Chain A
């Protein structure tokens, strides 16, 4: 075989590349986190600022992810099922957060919602602080993670077409019933993938959040900011432990989605048995 002598070098090349860029660095962070024993790691993790950072990250995710899920499914349905002038513009705008740097998104949010921004006075008069506060962090996280659900769901919607939905209509289903009983089960895998990507992005976002939050320890620090802050203020152990917490959170999300998917499959399996 012609390509045979290239096969082994290619295989090991890929492994080495992965090891150098991902396995080694992340492994070292894990190692450092537990270098001084489990007790020390636990203490670092339960320090007030760390706990607050974990809590804040959780709150941001629990708001931003459902928002983007609803928005993403809605936009996908609009783009896939309706023809209207300007659809191309909506389609293109969805990708903007992927194309431009999160830092720019953060800056933009400050310009619009900050004290001197367009809505700054209006918001301030009503006692609402967006920038350097939780709403701003949620908005920044939602903005950067906005494309993922649309980009995972839209192709599936286009691929399944409208036949099943029309069949359901002729059988007596109302629009919401069609969505819940036909469309949703068909896009479930794509949606799960999109939600996973969105969650991972929200948990891991740094740039946009760093700009809008002001990174006040114990107040507006998410986990990524906490890690960076700890590292810069010469308390790297807290940073390592925070990093491990972040990885675990991402792992939990992945596992949950896999398990729910498997549950559904098991249900199918029983039905088919």
Chain B
């Protein structure tokens, strides 16, 4: 294990930031700490880096207990949400900083900086100052700066948080590729579940200072440990008192064909077109309501309209009851 945190707790005054969190991060993995803002994930990252001290608990990096080791001696690369560029230093000197204070020979520093700038695609911008860079370029400079010290682990706090949507998507892919090249153990903090699922190979979901669940994105999407994970990781709705993904439901006008087993009758309340996806809200006869996610094509085929009588069922409802897997019993 590259990073191991054991029973970490941290309070800020009365507020509990982390409550008895234990987590292991495998060497070479890319793990996302995912959760809503203010849930404690950034605090956990800062505790791993040594920028905050836990009230109780232990931090091990490569098996070594570093709980009381100052940040400067942990060998951890940290990227801040707003990149924290050294404004008075050129891009080259920013990247060289960690090596300069280690008093490495000048030629070695120059060679290493060239290599890193090449890696992050900033080779032509080495003499610029941070104020002359775009957000994405600053982010890549901050990454190169953190990588310069050959960190044992790389910690990224909301790495794409301050970027606009387009750059964000590009950088995600780029980060994924970079990780494949370097294989350095990486932990990133994000509140965006789509981003986490796209970039990370493991997710750790943190909410209200608790670690809710750890696993692969696909596994957690299909087998969430609790209601919070279920609703946080993707769309969810309820039918028969059970949580279902709305794309796992089928809807049909009542007049065509017989309702399948386990189907519920209701009335279409609203049909919302969201590009490729179509959202159908249904008021159920018995109680409550649910919504169904359809592709544009199948929605057109069904020709659903508000006020129409329909039936709704789980798409796996034709299976025998024993084979049905409610993803989570409510």
Interface residues of A (CB under 8 A from B): 160, 163-164, 166-174, 177, 181-182, 185-186, 268, 271-273
Contact = CB atoms under 8 A, between A and B. Distances in A.
B108 to A, nearest CB: 16
B172 interface: no
A166 B101 contact: no
Given A172-B102, A272-B128, A167 B72 contact: no
B18 interface: no
A160 B85 CA distance: 11
Given A163-B82, A164-B86, A185-B88, A170 B51 contact: yes
B90 A177 contact: no
Contact of B72 (A163, A173, A268, A272): A173
A126 to B, nearest CB: 43
B97 A171 contact: yes
A61 to B, nearest CB: 29
A166 B146 CA distance: 12
Given A185-B88, A271-B90, A171 B80 contact: no
Given A169-B51, A170-B49, A171-B101, A163 B73 contact: no
Interface string B121-134: 00000011100000
* Residue from A168, A185, A186 with most neighbouring chain B CB atoms (10 Å): A168
23 contacts: A163-B82, A164-B85, A164-B86, A164-B87, A167-B86, A169-B70, A169-B71, A170-B50, A170-B71, A170-B74, A170-B77, A171-B97, A171-B145, A171-B146, A171-B148, A173-B72, A173-B101, A174-B72, A181-B97, A268-B88, A271-B93, A272-B127, A273-B127
Contacts of B88: 185-186, 268
B8 to A, nearest CB: 19
| SS class, residues of chain B in contact with chain A | loop
A10 B254 CA distance: 81
Interface residues of B, number: 32
Interface in B242-261: none
A170 B146 contact: yes
A182 B86 contact: yes
B87 A167 contact: no
A226 to B, nearest CB: 42
A172 B51 contact: no
Chain A at the B interface: mostly helix, strand, loop or mixed? helix
A182 B87 CA distance: 9
Interface in B37-66: 49-51
A272 B129 contact: yes
B201 to A, nearest CB: 24
A197 B106 CA distance: 40
Contacts of B72: 169-174
A266 to B, nearest CB: 14
B73 to A, nearest CB: 7
B215 interface: no
B7 to A, nearest CB: 24
Contacts of B50: 169-170
A35 B90 CA distance: 54
A164 B98 contact: no
Contacts of B90: 271-272
Contacts of A170: 49-51, 71-72, 74, 76-78, 146
B142 to A, nearest CB: 8
B84 A181 contact: no
A182 to B, nearest CB: 6
A271 to B, nearest CB: 6
Contacts of B269: none
Given A271-B127, A272-B129, A172 B101 contact: yes
